[in-house]
Amino acid sequence: MLIRFNLFVAWFLIPLTLAMEWVGSIGRFVLRMLGVVTPEQAVPERIMGALLLLVAVFLVQYFRGSLPPVGKPEGNGFRLGFRLVLAGNLLAATMVIFTFTYPLIEGRDVVIVLSWFVNVFSYLAVTCWAIGFSLLYQSSLPLK
């Protein structure tokens, strides 16, 4: 169960990390269709885009039965791959939380420093996901 949740969160955070502005634009488009006018790059449009992405990932998991890669817990590299995907999820979560809360931070210098760290975290998260997914996929292959 924890494995499925970890992969679900990863598949939710990957597009959110790599295309946050596009996800926000889709959210803004939906809000405009509903008659709600928001300023560009506002928090409500990002929340709406994230909710739409969450529903899309849930529907894929529901109709497919699982999200790739489906690893074997007894396979080679599974534990390390699971931990790397989890680390990537935690790093990406810091980025997502920052993008929703940075308007609340008063000091411009603090925002600049925090945004630098968050950018570094997003690159590390993508690296963790790439290596973790590779190891999870490798764990499902038969031993030779």
Element (H, E) at 17: helix 2-18
Tell me what the mean pLDDT of segment 112-117 comes to: 92
Note down the domain range covering 29: 2-140
> What is residue 12's predicted lDDT score, i.e. its pLDDT?
96
Q: Give the pLDDT mean for 77-86.
A: 94
Average pLDDT over residues 23-34: 92
**How many domains does one find in the chain?**
1
- Alpha-carbon separation of residue 42 from 20, 23, 62, 138 (angstroms): 12, 12, 31, 41
Is pLDDT of 1 > 80? no
Higher-scoring residue by pLDDT: 97, 103? 97
Q: Tell me how far apart the alpha carbons of residues 34 and 140 are, in angstroms, rounded to a whole number.
A: 45
Residue 102 — very low, low, confident or very high, per pLDDT cuts 50/70/90? confident
pLDDT attached to residue 83: 96
Per-residue model confidence as pLDDT tens digits over 55-67: 999 999 999 988 8
